[in-house]
């Protein structure tokens, strides 16, 4: 690192360990309030800092990117997903962008499994009945759900998170099927069954879990047509991005009985989610907390700082996207 310390702006409240390391190594600007930075604030700060460490809550649209100041050199995201960044526009501006892959795979896979089980075994209804003191009887027909053991788990996007989900699902003797841009090498693929096209995967998925990035190509990947291709009573799990699912189509599929349940950690509108989901007891919902563990928050912060350190040493950051 040079004698002159780079100026770094951290947009959100990160883990204490991350902040301590940032403050040790950079002239760090912290925000007093933990709220998403507006476009105007991002543009204003880009004139006075060398680096920004944002979360997926800060939106670098082409309009924002075109108005960024010339001092900003790098955006070191505290996220693996970068759909909040217009990478083409940032590349044109010569601004380096990094993300934080790998370190959140375990935490996110845990949430995928939680969503799958919670949706399949009616966790929301069960919790509510006990919590609201309405549990006044028991019978063999009470709260019967869907067993996942031995069922087929379809994974869309067999990247790092998808691969960990597949491993965890093996603990439930699930047969893993997957669709990915590229087939995995035999060592990584193990006993998972590759499907060259999505439709073939859908037909073979009792539970379908989404783990692909949100791009223009994957927008509303799960829609009326694709949801209808799942076997009846299938379960949809999404802890990737809300943009992957047409939420009106999902409600139709749940109401018609085509889908038994859904487990969602991501929504088209965040924060907030979809108010039309609230009445559906068979939608198990969490507020985008896939990577929210103490361990992973430190690891994400450190990974973003590793990328910044490399950049300011004149090296190529490990997770450089553009």
Active-site positions read 241, 270, 288
CB of 239 to ligand DGY, least distance (A): 8
CA atoms within 13 A on the CB side of 49: 26
Q: Per the structure block, which two tokens stand in for 88?
A: 């083409």
| Binding-residue pattern over the window 265 to 294 for ligand DGY, x denoting contact by CB under 6 A | -------------------------xx---
CB of 79 to ligand DGY, least distance (A): 3
Region of 33-41, 78-86, 87-95, 198-206 interacting with ligand DGY (CB under 6 A): 78-86
According to DSSP, residue 269 is labeled S
Q: Per the structure block, which two tokens stand in for 15?
A: 């883990």
In Å, the largest CA–CA distance within the chain is 72
Report the alpha-carbon distance of residue 25 to residue 4 in Å, rounded. Answer: 11
Q: Which is nearer to ligand DGY, 239 or 253 (CB)?
A: 239
Within 10 Å of residue 38's Cβ, how many Cβ atoms?
12
Region of 7-15, 76-84, 123-131, 184-192 interacting with ligand DGY (CB under 6 A): 76-84
CB of 278 to ligand DGY, least distance (A): 22
CB of 238 to ligand DGY, least distance (A): 11
81 belongs to the binding site for ligand DGY (CB under 6 A): yes
Q: Per the structure block, which two tokens stand in for 264?
A: 């969602």
Report the alpha-carbon distance of residue 197 to residue 195 in Å, rounded. Answer: 5
| Binding-residue pattern over the window 102 to 121 for ligand DGY, x denoting contact by CB under 6 A | --x-----------------
Strand 27-30 and strand 7-10: the pairing is parallel
CB within 8 Å of 1: residues ≥ 6 apart: 25, 309, 312, 313
79 belongs to the binding site for ligand DGY (CB under 6 A): yes
Judged by CB under 6 A, the number of residues near ligand DGY is 8
**DSSP assignments along 207-230, one per residue:** EEEE-SPP-TTTTT-BSHHHHHTS
80 belongs to the binding site for ligand DGY (CB under 6 A): yes
Nearest of 144, 143, 146, 141 to residue 119 by alpha carbon = 146
Region of 4-12, 29-37, 77-85, 146-154 interacting with ligand DGY (CB under 6 A): 77-85
CB of 270 to ligand DGY, least distance (A): 10
56 belongs to the binding site for ligand DGY (CB under 6 A): yes
Q: Which is nearer to ligand DGY, 55 or 235 (CB)?
A: 55
Check if the beta carbon of residue 250 is closer than 8 Å to that of residue 224.
Answer: no
Which positions lie near ligand DGY, rule CB under 6 A? 55-56, 79-81, 104, 290-291
């Amino acid at each position: 690192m040079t004698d002159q310390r780079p100026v770094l702006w951290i947009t959100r409240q990160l883990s204490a360990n991350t902040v301590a390391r940032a403050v040790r190594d950079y002239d760090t600007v912290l925000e007093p309030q933990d709220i998403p930075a507006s476009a105007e604030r991002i543009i204003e700060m880009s004139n006075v800092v060398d680096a920004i460490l944002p979360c997926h809550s800060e939106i670098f649209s082409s309009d924002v990117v075109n108005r960024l100041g010339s001092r900003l050199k790098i955006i070191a995201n505290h996220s693996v997903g970068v759909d909040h960044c217009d990478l083409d526009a940032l590349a044109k501006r010569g601004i380096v962008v990094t993300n934080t892959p790998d370190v959140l795979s375990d935490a996110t896979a845990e949430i995928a499994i939680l969503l799958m089980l919670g949706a399949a075994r009616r966790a929301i209804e069960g919790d509510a009945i006990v919590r609201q003191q309405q549990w006044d009887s028991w019978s063999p027909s009470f709260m019967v759900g869907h067993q996942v053991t031995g069922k087929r788990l379809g994974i869309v996007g067999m990247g790092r998170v998808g691969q960990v989900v597949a491993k965890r699902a093996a603990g439930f003797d699930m047969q893993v099927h997957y669709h990915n841009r590229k087939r995995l090498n035999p060592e990584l693929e193990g006993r998972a069954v590759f499907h060259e096209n999505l439709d073939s995967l859908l037909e073979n998925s009792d539970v379908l879990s989404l783990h692909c990035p949100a791009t223009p190509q994957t927008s509303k990947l799960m829609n009326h047509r694709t949801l209808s291709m799942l076997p009846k009573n299938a379960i949809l799990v999404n802890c990737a991005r809300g943009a992957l699912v047409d939420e009106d189509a999902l409600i139709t599929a749940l109401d018609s009985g085509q889908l038994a349940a859904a487990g969602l950690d991501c929504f088209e509108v965040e924060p907030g989610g979809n108010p039309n989901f609230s009445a559906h007891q068979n939608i198990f919902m969490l507020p985008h907390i896939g990577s929210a563990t103490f361990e992973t928050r430190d690891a994400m912060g450190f990974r973003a700082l590793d990328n910044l350190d490399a950049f300011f040493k004149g090296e190529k950051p490990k997770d450089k996207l553009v």
